[in-house]
Structure 1
Amino acid sequence: MSAPAPVVRDATVDDAAACAAIYAPYVTDTAITFETEPPTVEQMAGRITAALRAHAWLVLEDDGRVVGYAYGGPYKERAAYRWSCEVSVYLEAGRRRGGGGRALYGALFERLAARGYRTVVTGMTLPNEPSEGLHRALGFEPIGTYRRIGWKHGQWRDVAWAQRTISTGDDPPTEPS
């Protein structure tokens, strides 16, 4: 008998510890994120709460354990950007290229589109072939690269930006909910 397939579900603040544990190695051991101190469980709970209020935060659960997450948040604060959001996905070590990122993003885009968002953007610290490949496979289009924009682990880092349309509709658009 095979194990049940991983499940994508909406996050709750109870998932904060698992999300913080998944994210911490990205902060301490890589340049993938420009944070330099891993967020606490309380800080992660605050991030989840904020994302659920206006965007979305999802987790990937495998055999009852959170093994990845994805979320959307504001792209920019200016009013004209309100139909766009920034998205990110993180999987625990050893889970890359197994379909988890694709599953999380697929569900995330559905939830964001249902709330009225039209475009998602993401930034990827370079080099990061797994992330670049995932975003390319999901239809993100490159929109530019910020050169030497962040200093982490003793060197300047570039960040490539990409975007994808997640919904279209009549204009003017209705307010995101």
Structure 2
Amino acid sequence: MEIRPATSADLPAIAAIYDAEVLGGIATFATVPPGTDYWESRLHSPAAGDHVFVAESDGAVVGYAYSGSYRPRDAYARTRETSVYLADAARGRGTGRALYDALLATLSADGMRLAVAVVALPNDPSVALHRACGFSSVGVLHDVGHKFGRWIDTELFELLLT
């Protein structure tokens, strides 16, 4: 498996992984697939601390991790929200950890101060990944999202980078 910065050529695979979660999972609260233009803007964000990494195995993208703005106000500029998404075949194989290791090291090198992650519950593998990467739980928001006819809680995690 290779972990590397994403390129425009990776965007259809990234979109496919995300769209599967949009349409069938709760890891994102999006309800409509956003298309590759959304990913193109993430990939080419000029903001310091905005990154997209992919995991490639046997020539195929099997997962990705990205960081982006936590909030739009200037005082949050050194805080980044992070996410990891994996194709079903890549789960439980260390792919998420490898992606996060690359992303978090890059965020530290960028001078970012804090990484924040939001995990929809229940999601034991994601909670375990965040804890293994050094994130701490800072609370649960109850009934914060509504998808597939039910209310969903999220758990907020933070990792001090510097």
TM-score by length of 1: 0.87
Q: Quick check: 1:48–1:57 contact (8 Å CA) kept in 2?
A: yes
- Deviation per CA, 1:60-119, whole angstroms, max 9, x where unpaired? 011121111001001112222211100000110121121100000000011111111011
Deviation, 1:165, is: 1.4
Matches of 1:49 and 1:39 in 2, distance apart?
16
* Secondary structure in 2 matching 1:98: coil
Whether contact under 8 Å (1:13, 1:49) holds in the other structure is no
* Structure 1 unaligned regions, length at least 5: 1-5, 168-177
Query: SS of the counterpart of 1:94?
Result: helix
Rg bigger for which structure? 1
Stretches (4+) displaced over 6 A = none
Instruction: Give the TM-score taking structure 2 as reference length.
Output: 0.95
Question: Deviation of residue 53 (structure 1)?
Answer: 4.6
Following TM superposition, by how much is the alpha carbon of 1:129 offset from its aligned partner in structure 2, in angstroms?
A: 0.6
Contact 2:121/2:152, CA 8 A, preserved across alignment? yes
Q: 1-side partners of 2:19 and 2:74: how far apart? A: 32
- In angstroms, what is the RMSD of aligned CA positions? 1.2
Q: How many residues are matched?
A: 161
Q: Which amino acid aligns with 2:116?
A: V
Match in the other structure for 1:173 = none
Structure 2: gaps spanning 5 or more residues: none
2:72, 2:38 → 1: CA distance?
21
Equivalent runs, 1:99-114 vs 2, <5 Å: 99-114=94-109
Identity of aligned residues (%): 42
Aligned pairs for 1:1-177 (under 5 A) are 6-50=1-45, 53-54=47-48, 55-167=50-162
